[in-house]
A and B are shown apart, each in its own frame.
Chain A
Amino acid sequence: MGQDVEIADVSMRFGDFYAARDINVHIEAGEFFSFLGPSGCGKTTLLRLVSGFMDPTKGQIKIGGKDMIGIGSNNRPTAMIFQNLALFPLMTVMENIGFGLEVRGMPKVERIKKVEELIELVDLFGTGNRYVSELSGGQMQRVAIARALAVNPAVLLLDEPLSALDLKLRHHMRAELRNIQRRTGVTFIYITHDQTEALTMSDRVGVMSIGKLEQVAVPDVIYNNPATAFVASFVGETNRLQGTISNIDGEYAVLNTASGPFSCKNPQRMSKGEEGTIFIRPETVFMTKESNASNLLACGIQNLSFEGAYAVVTLKTEQGQLLTMRLNNDGTAPSVKADENVNVTFNRENAFVLKNGDSSSA
C-alpha cells in the first residue's frame, strides 16, 4: 500500500544554482500526484531527492512519517521509472522484473511466481524469456512498470516515462497507469512537462517554475483558478492583456489596458494602482452584436484555423493586440471569414488579473 510523502522546506543547490527552493508539499498516501513544469524547472531534481539519489541542501523528506535524509535509494520504500526506462539490456524480461526480488534474496521458485503475476498485471504475456531489445516501446514501458512494482514500493516515482511513445500509445498508457495506480494503491509521483498528461491523470498537480513550486491543487483548479501568472500561462492556452488596476469592486477589479478598461476577477486581492495581466482562456472569448456590452474588444479576424471539433480564430484589436478565440463546431457559433471585423467580449467571471510574475516566460 502507498505511504504519504512529506517534502518540507526542501532546497537543493548546485553551486550558486538552486534547482529547488523552499519546496513544501504533502503528498497523500495512495495519491496520484504530478509535478508539472518546463524542462529545467527542478522537477527531476525533486524526484531524485525523494528517491534518495541525493540529499537536499536543506529541508526534510519524510515517507510514511519516517525521516529519509541520509538513507540511500537502495533502502527507501520507493521505486523509480526512468525517463529512458533504464532497463537492463543483458537480461531477459523476467530477469529485469525479478531483479529487485533477486536482490532481496527471494528464492527462485517464489520469485518466478511473483514475476508471472506482474507480467499478468501489466499485460506482457509470452515475452518473459525475450530480451528487452526485442520488445516494442509500449512493452518496454510495461517491463519498467513491472520491474518497479515488483519490490512493492510504497511510492512509485515516474520521470516522464511516456515521453518517448507515440501519441496513440501515450493515451493508452495514461489510462493504463491510472488503472494500475488504482488497483495497487501505491502513491504515484509523476513528473511531466506535458500539461494534458498531468491534468488527465493526477489527483493533484504541483506546477513548478525555476526551482519554485507555484501552485498545488486539483487539476480543474489549476486550469480555472491559476494562482500565479506563470501557472496561468504555462497551463493551457491563454490571452494576456497588460494594464494597471484603476478600480476595485469587491471580488473584481477594473484594469486600464491599451485596448481600454476591462473588468475581471481579482484572486490575488491586488490593490488600485498595481500593474498586472488579465488572463482570458480562448474558449471563454465569444462574439457579440451588442455594441455597448462591457469588456468589449473591436477586432479584425486575422486568421482562421479549422481543427474539426472547433476553430481557432486569431484576432487583432485596433491597438494591435493579438487575441485567440475558440469557436466550438456545434452549430451555435456564427460563421466568420478572415478580414471580417467583429466585436468580441468575455465574462468577468472567466477572466482574472494576476501580478506580473518574474518567471512568466512560459
Chain B
Amino acid sequence: MRDFWKNALRDLGKIGVAYIIITVGIWLVFMILIPQLIMFDYSLRPMLALRDIGGPKDVWTLKNYIVFFTNKLHMAIFFKTIWSSFIVTLVALAICYPIAFYLAKVVRGGKVGLLMLGLIIPYWINELLRLFAWQLILADSGILNQLLILLGIIVDPINFRAGNGAVILGMTYAYILFMVFPIYNVMESLDRNQLDAARDLGASWLRIHRRIVMPHAKPGIAVGCTMTFMLAAGTVAAPQLLGSPSSFWFTQVINTNFECANWNQGAAYATVLMLLCMIFMFIMLKIFKVGLKELTQ
C-alpha cells in the first residue's frame, strides 16, 4: 500500500494525487454512500406526519420490512419480478452470445464496425421512445397483429400485452447491448488459433464452444448477466409502458409507495430489491467462478 502511494506520487505528482482522491471521494461519498444510507435510514423509520418527525414516535423499527414480508401480494410480485428478470437475462444471453461470437471471431475487417453501428443505432433514441415503439408494434391494431391477420394466421388480433410477455420482450430488447458488449470484449481477446487447434484435434463446434469459447468468455458472460438482471429488475419504464394494467411489477410497487408519499415503505422495498441484485451478482460470480476483480476488467 505504501508503495502504491509512493508510485502514485511519483507518476502523478501531488496535485494529480489530490485530484484523484477528491474526485473519487466525492463520487464515493455523495453518489453512493450518502444516498444509500439516507434511503436505508428512511426504510427503518415509520411514516409520520410532518410534525412528528424528530419527535418521540420517530424511532428505528423493522415495521416497513415486516409489512413487505407479510404482504402476500407484494411478495408474489417480488418473486415474479425475480423470475421475469431471470428469463430476460437468459433470453438476452441466448441472443447475444452468438451475436458477440459472430462479431468477435467470425466477421473480419471493416464489417465489424458497421455491424456494431447497427447494434448501437437504436440506442441513439431514448429508452422511453423505444418502448413506445414496441407498444405500437404490439398493439391490437399494431403492425404485428395486422401482419398476422394479413397472412391469415389469425383472425382476431392477439392481445400481446395481456401477460408478462410484452414486458419481457421489451426489456430484452432494451438491454441487449449490455449483454453483447461485455461478451464481445472478452471473446475478442480469444486467440483464433485456439479455435483452429481445437477444430484440428477433431472437436465439433458445440464442444469448441463448451470447452474453449465459453470458459474464456466467462467473465464477460457474468458481467452481461449481472447488468441485464439488475437493469431488468430495476426498470419501471418497461412494465409501465408494456405491462398489462392488471399485472404489477415490483418497481411499480416501489414507485407507487413514493407517489403516495410513503417514502419509508418505498425505501424498504427498494432496499430489498437492492439486496436481491447483490445476491444475484454474488451467485453469478460463484457460478462462473470469477472474482470481483475480473468482473470489472
Q: Which residues of A contact B (CB under 8 A)?
A: 51-53, 72-75, 78-80, 82-84, 86-88, 90-91, 99-100, 103-104, 147-148, 150-151
Instruction: Return B197 CB to nearest CB of chain A, in Å.
Output: 4
Asked whether B201 lies within 8 Å of A84 as measured between CB atoms, the reply is no
Asked whether B196 lies within 8 Å of A73 as measured between CB atoms, the reply is yes
Asked whether B203 lies within 8 Å of A78 as measured between CB atoms, the reply is no
The residues of A that contact B199 with a CB separation of less than 8 Å are 53, 72-74
The distance in angstroms between the C-alpha atoms of A72 and B199, with both chains bound, is 9
The residues of B that contact A51 with a CB separation of less than 8 Å are 200
Asked whether B200 lies within 8 Å of A73 as measured between CB atoms, the reply is yes
* Given A84-B193, A86-B194, also A79-B200 (CB < 8 A): yes
Asked whether B215 lies within 8 Å of A90 as measured between CB atoms, the reply is yes
The residues of B that contact A91 with a CB separation of less than 8 Å are 211
Name 22 A/B residue pairs within 8 A (Cβ), A-sorted.
Answer: A51-B200, A52-B200, A53-B200, A73-B196, A74-B199, A74-B201, A74-B202, A74-B203, A74-B204, A80-B196, A80-B197, A82-B196, A82-B197, A84-B191, A86-B193, A86-B196, A88-B194, A88-B198, A99-B201, A99-B211, A103-B203, A151-B201
The distance in angstroms between the C-alpha atoms of A51 and B199, with both chains bound, is 10
The distance in angstroms between the C-alpha atoms of A53 and B207, with both chains bound, is 17
The residues of A that contact B198 with a CB separation of less than 8 Å are 88, 99
Residue in A51, A53, A74, A80 whose Cβ sees the most chain B Cβ within 10 Å: A74
Cβ-based interface call for B209 (8 A)? no
The distance in angstroms between the C-alpha atoms of A86 and B193, with both chains bound, is 6
Asked whether A79 lies within 8 Å of B201 as measured between CB atoms, the reply is yes
Q: In chain B, residues 166-224, which have Cβ atoms closer than 8 Å to a Cβ of chain A?
A: 191, 193-194, 196-204, 207, 211-212, 215-216
- B192 — nearest CB in chain A belongs to which residue? A86
Residue in A52, A53, A73, A78 whose Cβ sees the most chain B Cβ within 10 Å: A73
The residues of B that contact A84 with a CB separation of less than 8 Å are 191, 193
Residue in B193, B197, B200, B202 whose Cβ sees the most chain A Cβ within 10 Å: B200
The residues of B that contact A83 with a CB separation of less than 8 Å are 193
Chain B interface mostly: helix
The residues of B that contact A73 with a CB separation of less than 8 Å are 196, 199-200
* Given A82-B193, A84-B191, A99-B211, also A90-B216 (CB < 8 A): yes
Instruction: Return B40 CB to nearest CB of chain A, in Å.
Output: 40
Asked whether A75 lies within 8 Å of B212 as measured between CB atoms, the reply is no
Asked whether B207 lies within 8 Å of A103 as measured between CB atoms, the reply is yes
Instruction: Return B7 CB to nearest CB of chain A, in Å.
Output: 26
* Given A84-B191, A88-B194, A99-B211, also A75-B200 (CB < 8 A): no
Residue from B193, B194, B202 in contact with A103 in the complex, judged by beta carbons closer than 8 Å: B202
The distance in angstroms between the C-alpha atoms of A73 and B207, with both chains bound, is 15
Asked whether A151 lies within 8 Å of B202 as measured between CB atoms, the reply is yes
The residues of A that contact B203 with a CB separation of less than 8 Å are 74, 99, 103
Residue from A75, A78, A86, A150 in contact with B197 in the complex, judged by beta carbons closer than 8 Å: A86
Q: In chain B, residues 20-37, which have Cβ atoms closer than 8 Å to a Cβ of chain A?
A: none
Residue from B191, B196, B204 in contact with A53 in the complex, judged by beta carbons closer than 8 Å: B196
Asked whether B201 lies within 8 Å of A103 as measured between CB atoms, the reply is yes
The distance in angstroms between the C-alpha atoms of A52 and B191, with both chains bound, is 19
* Given A90-B215, A103-B207, also A75-B193 (CB < 8 A): no
The residues of B that contact A75 with a CB separation of less than 8 Å are 202
* Given A86-B191, A88-B194, A103-B207, also A80-B200 (CB < 8 A): yes
The distance in angstroms between the C-alpha atoms of A84 and B197, with both chains bound, is 11
The residues of B that contact A79 with a CB separation of less than 8 Å are 200-201
Asked whether A88 lies within 8 Å of B200 as measured between CB atoms, the reply is no
Asked whether A147 lies within 8 Å of B194 as measured between CB atoms, the reply is no
- A48 — nearest CB in chain B belongs to which residue? B196
The distance in angstroms between the C-alpha atoms of A82 and B196, with both chains bound, is 9
The residues of B that contact A74 with a CB separation of less than 8 Å are 199-204
* Given A99-B201, A100-B202, A103-B203, also A88-B212 (CB < 8 A): yes
Instruction: Return A45 CB to nearest CB of chain B, in Å.
Output: 14
Instruction: Return A140 CB to nearest CB of chain B, in Å.
Output: 13
The residues of A that contact B193 with a CB separation of less than 8 Å are 82-84, 86
Instruction: Return A332 CB to nearest CB of chain B, in Å.
Output: 51
- A80 — nearest CB in chain B belongs to which residue? B200
The distance in angstroms between the C-alpha atoms of A248 and B196, with both chains bound, is 54
Q: In chain B, residues 212-267, which have Cβ atoms closer than 8 Å to a Cβ of chain A?
A: 212, 215-216
The residues of B that contact A150 with a CB separation of less than 8 Å are 201
- B198 — nearest CB in chain A belongs to which residue? A99
The distance in angstroms between the C-alpha atoms of A86 and B197, with both chains bound, is 7
Instruction: Return B231 CB to nearest CB of chain A, in Å.
Output: 29
Instruction: Return B201 CB to nearest CB of chain A, in Å.
Output: 4
* Given A86-B191, A103-B207, also A147-B201 (CB < 8 A): yes
The distance in angstroms between the C-alpha atoms of A147 and B200, with both chains bound, is 11
The residues of B that contact A88 with a CB separation of less than 8 Å are 194, 197-198, 211-212
Instruction: Return B8 CB to nearest CB of chain A, in Å.
Output: 29
The distance in angstroms between the C-alpha atoms of A51 and B198, with both chains bound, is 12
The distance in angstroms between the C-alpha atoms of A97 and B199, with both chains bound, is 14
Instruction: Return A327 CB to nearest CB of chain B, in Å.
Output: 46
- A150 — nearest CB in chain B belongs to which residue? B201
The residues of B that contact A80 with a CB separation of less than 8 Å are 196-197, 200
The distance in angstroms between the C-alpha atoms of A100 and B197, with both chains bound, is 10
The distance in angstroms between the C-alpha atoms of A82 and B216, with both chains bound, is 19
Instruction: Return B160 CB to nearest CB of chain A, in Å.
Output: 43
Instruction: Return A352 CB to nearest CB of chain B, in Å.
Output: 41
Instruction: Return B287 CB to nearest CB of chain A, in Å.
Output: 16
The distance in angstroms between the C-alpha atoms of A158 and B192, with both chains bound, is 17
